[in-house]
A and B are shown apart, each in its own frame.
Chain A
């Protein structure tokens, strides 16, 4: 903690001993800012896919749909038979036939609002909600096959799993992107620090001549690059947050892309980016400084 405080407060005399580093300083601020801006989007993507995967999992995991296709004069009897089967199946909490209006609402995005549902051979859907224990889909299918020949049970597994898998993949890509951004930031700051150290070879020689230890010389460079990286990253993060806030809001028709952003306490996550950038800069500059000082001896 004392070291962190010493780094932030610095030694004005040591700072003065190292001359201003010009373009390398600006390069560090710009690089940290640009990377932080990108990191905000990568983080937003990661959190959004995380939410999406959770939602798909939780919304679909405990539900199933029974579809009954039968001639119009037999459909009511098949629905009653199906309800009898479902009511007596262990693991099913509720079973409810969708109303005509609900089925109309489901089809409306594809066929419009004026679909004459009554005159079409549309299957009847029954929404099933499982208990925590869940039901045995194989056993239920076997019973339905015998007692309700027109019924098809869809427990959503077939298309839920690939969707959740895809969301998890995107989330992993988001994490990889964050790691790459951190690595690229470290690499760029290393180059800038090495360039600054090489440009100050004469300063380093004079400081050594009068008895400066390598830690003293390195500290002046490390503090400078760490603070600049933190400053640049803070600016980039704030810009990124503004850009995210200005994205169109998600709604029921919006889907994934308009849902990209932060929710609730998630808005605090990006504020970890500037300290993270400072930590990356600290270690990158420190390693570069000691390597360069070692080569100069």
Chain B
């Protein structure tokens, strides 16, 4: 579904990383880890067409991202759910309206129905449905972002530090939701510093751990 082949990305006059290859297949589960500033978020952005590589090739659902026009990128995004580190909500809309936003912009708002109630129940936010995003706690925002990301039943779920602002209990809850999605056949890619989260995931699911360091992407060692 998503293939990065020998990708390099330059930033600030130098190479952030080079020679990166990555394949996300249906049902795969990847963790992306590494020190801050090595380009994890940039690599994720390449995976959902927010950025284009300096060299190499990024294929999104069989199409080269460099050759996509803005409409094609928009349609492709409906197949990729993204959970940002800072969540990125429309603060003037309620949690429920934010969660259904992917359907709204696709002109399918009338299809919401019971799905929204079920989805909010799944992430434990039924009572917060009518609240505004600034009124939510960090964990609630992460769960709302996850609910929004899966609203259109995407093929791929990409999360950038989804447990960065939450306690251990909440991070376990979020991990459980991500593993559930993966068991439904979704490809999952999570960027995180949280080694405990990776260990907890590996105990439950076949996950591949990648480490971005020194400008190269490598498989992490057996210590994880």
Query: A88 at the A/B interface (Cβ < 8 Å)?
Result: no
Whether the Cβ atoms of B74 and A17 lie closer than 8 Å is no
Q: Which among B71, B84, B101, B148 is the interface contact of A214 at CB below 8 angstroms?
A: B71
Which residue of A has the minimal Cβ distance to B151?
A210
How many residues on the A side are at the interface (Cβ–Cβ under 8 A)?
23
Assess the A206–B109 pair: CB atoms within 8 A: no
Q: Which residues in B have their C-beta under 8 angstroms from that of A293?
A: 70
Contact A213 B71 (CB under 8 A): yes
A208 to B82, CA, bound (A): 11
Known A19-B92, A203-B90, A205-B88: A211·B71 in contact at CB below 8 Å: no
A211 touches B78 (CB 8 A): yes
* A214→B74 contact, CB < 8 A: yes
Residues of chain A lying within 8 A (CB to CB) of residue B102:
210-211
CB distance from B207 to the nearest CB of A (A): 25
Our pick among A11, A17, A19, A20 for the contact of B101 (Cβ within 8 Å) is A17
Chain A residues with CB under 8 Å of B50's CB are 209
- Interface secondary structure of A, over-half rule: helix
- Chain B residues, Cβ within 8 Å of A206: 88-90, 101
Cβ-based interface call for B77 (8 A): yes
A interface footprint on B58-90 (CB within 8 Å = 1, 0 otherwise): 000000000000110011011000101000111
Closest Cβ neighbor of B82 among chain A residues: A209
Question: Which residues of B (134-172) have their CB < 8 Å from a CB of A?
Answer: 148, 152
Verify A208–B101 contact, CB threshold 8 A. Answer: no
- Residues on B with C-beta less than 8 A from A13 are 104, 109
**Interface size class of chain B, counting residues whose CB lies under 8 Å from the partner chain:** 20 to 34
Contact B101 A210 (CB under 8 A): yes
Do A208 and B104 touch across chains, with their CB atoms under 8 A apart? no
CB-CB < 8 A to B107: which residues of A? Answer: 11, 216
CA distance A74 to B84 in the complex (A): 109
A272 close to chain B: CB less than 8 A: no
- Nearest chain-B residue to A205 (Cβ)? B88
A276 to chain B, nearest CB (A): 31
Among candidates B82, B88, B90, B104, residue contacting A14 with C-beta atoms closer than 8 Å: B104
The residues of B that contact A115 with a CB separation of less than 8 Å are: none
Proximity bits, A213-226, B CB within 8 Å = 1, else 0: 11110000000000
Q: Which residues of chain A are within 8 angstroms of B92 by Cβ–Cβ distance?
A: 19-20
Minimal Cβ-Cβ distance residue in A for B92: A19
Q: What are the interface flags for A121-145 relative to B under an 8 Å C-beta threshold, 1 for contact and 0 otherwise? A: 0000000000000000000000000
Q: Which residue of B lies closest to A297 (CB)?
A: B70
Contacts of B78 in A (CB 8 A): 210-211
Can you list 5 contacts pairing A with B, beta carbon distance less than 8 Å? A205-B88, A210-B78, A210-B101, A210-B102, A216-B107
Q: A residues bordering B, Cβ < 8 Å? A: 11, 13-14, 16-17, 19-20, 202-203, 205-216, 293, 297
List of 4 A-B pairs having minimum Cβ-Cβ separation, nearest first:
A212-B105, A211-B78, A211-B77, A210-B102
Given known contacts A16-B97, A211-B77, what 6 new A-B pairs fall within 8 Å (CB)?
A11-B107, A17-B90, A206-B101, A207-B105, A209-B84, A211-B106
